[in-house]
Amino acid sequence: MAKEQAVIRNDMSRFKWTLNEMKKHKTGYFMALPFFILFFIFTVAPVLLSFVLSFTTFNLLEWPDFVFMDNYIRLLLDDDIFMTAIINTFKFSMITGPGSYLLSMLFAWFINELRPKIRSIMTLFFYAPSISGQVYLIWTIFFSSDQYGYVNAWGMKLGLLSEPVLWFQDEKYIFPLIVAVALWTSLGTSFLTFIAGFQVVDKSLYEAGAVDGVKNRWQELWYITLPTMRPQMMLGAILAITGSFGFGAVITALVGFPSPNYCAHTIMHHLEDYGNSRFEMGYASAIATILFFMMIGANMLVTKMLRKVGT
Amino acid sequence: MSFQEIKAKYVRYRNKRLQNKQQFQRSINRSKGGDIGIFVMLGIVAVIMVAPMVYAICQSLKPLDELFVFPPRFFVVNPTGKNYRDLFNLMNESWVPFSRYIFNTVFISFFGTFGNVIFASYAAYALAKIKFPGRQFLFSVVVYSLMFNSTVTGITNFITMSWLGWVDTYFAVIVPSFCYTFGLYLMKQFMETSVNDSVLESARLDGAGENLIFWKIAMPMVKPAWITLIIFVFKDLWNMGASLYIYSEQLKTFNYAIGQLVTAGIARSGVSAAATVVMMIVPITVFVITQSNVITTMSASGMKD
């Protein structure tokens, strides 16, 4: 079969050969088409459209005017809240992205050391927060600002706090708290990827490693497990990074919108504010475009770094 | 039973035990202290992970006097089902009946999940097993789409939705979930590793069309993958709160209604705890049932460069 194709390929031009291949496998296009039409309408087109709209003054009512870079200039020079949002987003994703990645990796590794029955129970315990909807709101009850809040009540009873602390209203505490809650919900799909990744490592490699002088579990992890798990690590990184930009709704549910003195205001909130409340679509598109390049940039950077690991 | 039979049975039993022991004995490079340390640490973190869930369950079973005791108590002493009965009554009395919210969530979750599994599997089969020109390009676009989330597309999708006339309809929520790219990604990776090319080839030689091969050969082979897709898409749709594209109260989801209950200032009440429990128990149960399939699928999910 392969030989035959090779001969055919020599006989005709590359273009003709491609055309022939397309005709031969046309069912492939029919099968992929429904998904990719929708994918184009709801994912590719919006990205392109928001790029185009970001150069205009579109507001859903009037015909958009082309204003070139005005939106971006206004964003970067005139919009103080946007600057706060950028800094917050960077801070937030720099902590939750790598944080959730490392936690997923570490706990998946620990859980992998357990027997299968306990392993699946532990997997459930660690994965459950990310799938159980609004359970994270329970943290607002634990950290409620009155004396009925568990942390306040017990802290006062044990003499650690002298008066109730306004956990989710005080700028000092909001940021660490939302990071903690975000990390709590973040052991999601990347965690499962690692759990599975650890299980498919060939066990005989460990024995071979032990013969070759691997002395403890940390060396085993570093020299044997991680290099064989690179594909899973790549996917896990992408999921963790993308996830770290997706906590806008969690933050809003925890501290409200807008957050006190914009201390937890991220680009996601800024985007929602202009896009869904003020309907300044051109301006919002500029924000979306910046966010898009931030996410793609962070992912490209990290996958490039991970490609170097172990080579 | 003769002595020989008993002996044979014993030998089989002993071999099996030895085999099991070997399987779980991970004594190479494992110190006892490290094992204990890991176990203790996992235990502590596991408690933090499940505490809110356990709390929600306890809270939902507390009678009124226990809900407002000071200092607040974590566990329930005299469990009662009253909160669940109250939730049920409340559901019947609200302006938009709660059954309507539940119907919306179930309707959206079911059709969204079903559509995604069909669409993504078809496309994944084509990408993985039919060698048409352009498939690498399409797949790399899919991988790039994993690198950003729907906040970026939300604004312009609103324009698309209003142009299609889908704002404030079920379509606005259900149809976009058909093209959930992570589902396609998982399905394609799994098909590549677990569907044997030679089987497909022989079926093609026998004159079977691709559609038939897809349904009769490929789909049964990738059962873990579509079960995984079901749980991933389902949990997203089930947990979906207020959508940008839905205004009418009649079309909103159960999760949105629960959110209203919880944030309406009765956060400590047993009723909202009961509602939270109802809301979380469904995806957790689905995951418990499907866990081994999910892990099997994820093991094939790595990103080869």
SS3 B241: coil
- Specify the pLDDT at position B24: 53
Q: Does any domain span residue B157?
A: yes
A305 shares contact with chain B (CB less than 8 Å): no
- Is the pLDDT at A83 greater than 60, yes or no? yes
Q: Does any domain span residue A60?
A: no
Q: Mean per-residue pLDDT for B49-76?
A: 84
Tell me which range, A81-90, A251-260, B6-15, B90-99, is most confidently predicted by mean pLDDT: A81-90
Q: Mean per-residue pLDDT for A266-291?
A: 88
Tell me the residues of chain A between 47 and 66 that have a Cβ less than 8 Å away from chain B: 47, 49-50, 53, 60
SS3 A66: strand
In this structure, the answer to whether residues A94 and A220 fall within a common structural domain is: yes
User: Which one of A140, A235, A288 has the shortest CB-CB distance to B152?
Assistant: A288
User: A235 and B303: CB-CB below 8 Å?
Assistant: yes
User: B287 and A275: CB-CB below 8 Å?
Assistant: no
Q: Does any domain span residue A62?
A: no
Indicate which CATH number applies to the domain containing A163. 1.10.3720.10
Indicate which CATH number applies to the domain containing B276. 1.10.3720.10
Q: Does any domain span residue A277?
A: yes
Q: Does any domain span residue A61?
A: no
Q: Which residues of chain A make contact with B304, given a CB cutoff of 8 A?
A: 231
Residue B267: give the domain boundaries: 91-299
Q: What is the pLDDT of residues A131-140, one digit of tens each?
A: 887 788 888 8
A276 shares contact with chain B (CB less than 8 Å): yes
- Specify the pLDDT at position B264: 58
Q: Does any domain span residue A63?
A: no
Q: How close are the terminal C-alpha atoms of chain B, in Å?
A: 60
In this structure, the answer to whether residues A86 and A188 fall within a common structural domain is: yes
The number of distinct structural domains making up chain B is: 1
Mean pLDDT, rounded, of chain A: 85
Q: Which residues of chain A make contact with B125, given a CB cutoff of 8 A?
A: 31
Q: Does any domain span residue B6?
A: no
User: A43 and B181: CB-CB below 8 Å?
Assistant: yes
A115 shares contact with chain B (CB less than 8 Å): yes
Q: Does any domain span residue B276?
A: yes
What phi and psi, each to the nearest 5 degrees, are found at residue B182?
Answer: -65, -30
User: B184 and A147: CB-CB below 8 Å?
Assistant: no
User: Which one of B159, B284, B294 has the shortest CB-CB distance to A128?
Assistant: B284
Closest CA to A112 of A47, A200, A50: A200
Q: Does any domain span residue B52?
A: no
- Specify the pLDDT at position A1: 43
In this structure, the answer to whether residues A210 and A292 fall within a common structural domain is: yes
Tell me the residues of chain A between 74 and 113 that have a Cβ less than 8 Å away from chain B: 107, 110-111, 113
Gyration radius from chain B CA atoms: 26
- Beta partners for A66? A56
In this structure, the answer to whether residues A200 and A303 fall within a common structural domain is: yes
In this structure, the answer to whether residues A180 and A239 fall within a common structural domain is: yes
A279 shares contact with chain B (CB less than 8 Å): no
Q: Does any domain span residue A58?
A: no
- Is the pLDDT at B263 greater than 70, yes or no? no
Contact status, residue A197 vs residue A173, Cβ threshold 8 Å: no
A123 shares contact with chain B (CB less than 8 Å): yes
For residue B35, the chain A residue with the least C-alpha distance is A113
Interface pTM, i.e. ipTM: 0.86
The number of distinct structural domains making up chain A is: 2
**What separation in angstroms does the CA of B264 have from each of A294, B91, B119?**
35, 15, 39
Q: Which residues of chain A make contact with B258, given a CB cutoff of 8 A?
A: 133-134
Tell me the residues of chain A between 237 and 266 that have a Cβ less than 8 Å away from chain B: 238-239, 241-243, 245-246, 248-249, 253
Q: What per-residue string of b and e applies to B176-211 under the rule 16 or more CB within 10 Å gives b?
A: bbbbbbbbbbbbbbbbeebbeeeebeebeeeeeebe
Q: Does any domain span residue B49?
A: no
In this structure, the answer to whether residues A7 and A92 fall within a common structural domain is: no
Residue A86: give the domain boundaries: 69-308
In this structure, the answer to whether residues A83 and A14 fall within a common structural domain is: no
In this structure, the answer to whether residues A74 and A223 fall within a common structural domain is: yes
- Is the pLDDT at B76 greater than 80, yes or no? yes
In this structure, the answer to whether residues A20 and A116 fall within a common structural domain is: no
